[in-house]
Structure 1
Amino acid sequence: MSVESNWVRIIRWCEQHAPTTASRLRPPPGRQAVHAAEAATDRLWPAQLHEWFALHNGGFDSQPDALVLPSNEPISVALAVRTRDELVEIWQDNTDDLGGTETLMAQPAGTEIETFLPAFIPIGSDGAGDYLAVDTRGGDRAGCIVEFSKYGGTALCWDSIADMLESTATALEQQVPCQGWMPVVENGLLRWDYRP
């Protein structure tokens, strides 16, 4: 299924079971804003990343959070660029110690690495320093979703945004864990409990 069709499943479920969460998402930023963000990263964004930001512009900045992804809130396109730039700068010394930006960017997408690269475009935040990001490096897994830990390091989570949304929608509809996170609704809010 497509990015849009899986997103519709998630939003439909939230509207029925977690309406406060559904109401916390902002409308799409518009094509021009997305193209400007892509240009600012100096990376070619995969089609699914454009589709992702054509559906929403993250959650509103005030509580409650719109945790529609397993323990993560989608972030706005502007925050994606700002966060990426900040994390690249914060982790630059580590990147240099591991062989430098050019060497690490040449590795295929999905390759686990203990730093934050310019190829990573954040799309979700857990609010505590961990991020979901699209890996725009080349290779068979270009466009995959990695989780970046605030302690340094990435882990491959899904092969694409569509896969992430499909597994999230299935977890909601069938009330099963997604990447170890179990959906729970309290007072109209969706939250995720980790159950390894």
Structure 2
Amino acid sequence: MSVRGMQRDWQLTCDITLDDPELSPYWWHGRLIPFGYDLTGGNLFIDPDTGRTGSFHNEDGLRMQGGDVWPSYLTLLKVTARALERGEPVRGWHPGVEKGRLDWRFKD
């Protein structure tokens, strides 16, 4: 996600939460920083309070457990770099670079 995309998505989700404050406990929190798109149309984010990553989806809100969660952004980067170097999957997903962008494919 570009820095412009990060700012745009952060602003959009914050604006929606400001319009409906009842959403904020489970749907989005302004302290979160989106950094990438997941493969299901959501965003990956970093929680600067904990350093952990998670995902956000319009329909489901925040996911702080499961396959999108890493103990830190640095851990996610290290695992991704290792997978690219070795051609190994990460949690069943195979990384690759297409047209200068990181892409993930699920392979059984």
- Consecutive unaligned residues of structure 2, counting only runs of 5 or more, are none
Q: Report what 1:121 is aligned to.
A: 33
Q: TM-score if structure 1 supplies the norm length?
A: 0.44
Picking from 140, 146, 156, the partner of 2:54 is 146
- Count residues with an aligned counterpart: 103
Once residues 47 and 16 of structure 2 are traced to their aligned partners in structure 1, the CA distance between those partners, rounded to angstroms, is 18
Shift of 1:158: 0.9
Alignment map for 1:37-48 (pairs within 5 Å) = none
Once residues 116 and 130 of structure 1 are traced to their aligned partners in structure 2, the CA distance between those partners, rounded to angstroms, is 12
- The reply on whether 1:161 has 2:87 as its aligned counterpart is no
Determine if contact 2:94/2:106 at 8 Å carries over to the other structure: yes
Based on CA coordinates, which of the two structures has the bigger radius of gyration?
Answer: 1
- Consecutive unaligned residues of structure 1, counting only runs of 5 or more, are 1-73, 105-113
Q: TM-score if structure 2 supplies the norm length?
A: 0.72
Picking from 10, 14, 26, the partner of 1:88 is 14
Once residues 41 and 100 of structure 2 are traced to their aligned partners in structure 1, the CA distance between those partners, rounded to angstroms, is 25
Once residues 81 and 148 of structure 1 are traced to their aligned partners in structure 2, the CA distance between those partners, rounded to angstroms, is 15
Picking from 77, 84, 92, the partner of 1:172 is 84
Are the structure 2 counterparts of residues 194 and 91 from structure 1 closer, same or farther at C-alpha, using a change threshold of 3 Å? Answer: farther
Higher relative contact order at CA 8 Å, sep ≥6: structure 1 or structure 2? 1
Cα-Cα RMSD: 2.8
What SS does structure 2 have at the residue aligned with 1:158? coil
Shift of 1:124: 1.1
What SS does structure 1 have at the residue aligned with 2:44? strand
Alignment map for 1:1-196 (pairs within 5 Å) = 74-76=1-3, 78-92=4-18, 93=20, 95-96=21-22, 101=24, 104=25, 114-126=26-38, 129-137=41-49, 142-156=50-64, 157-184=69-96, 190-195=102-107
Determine if contact 1:84/1:118 at 8 Å carries over to the other structure: yes
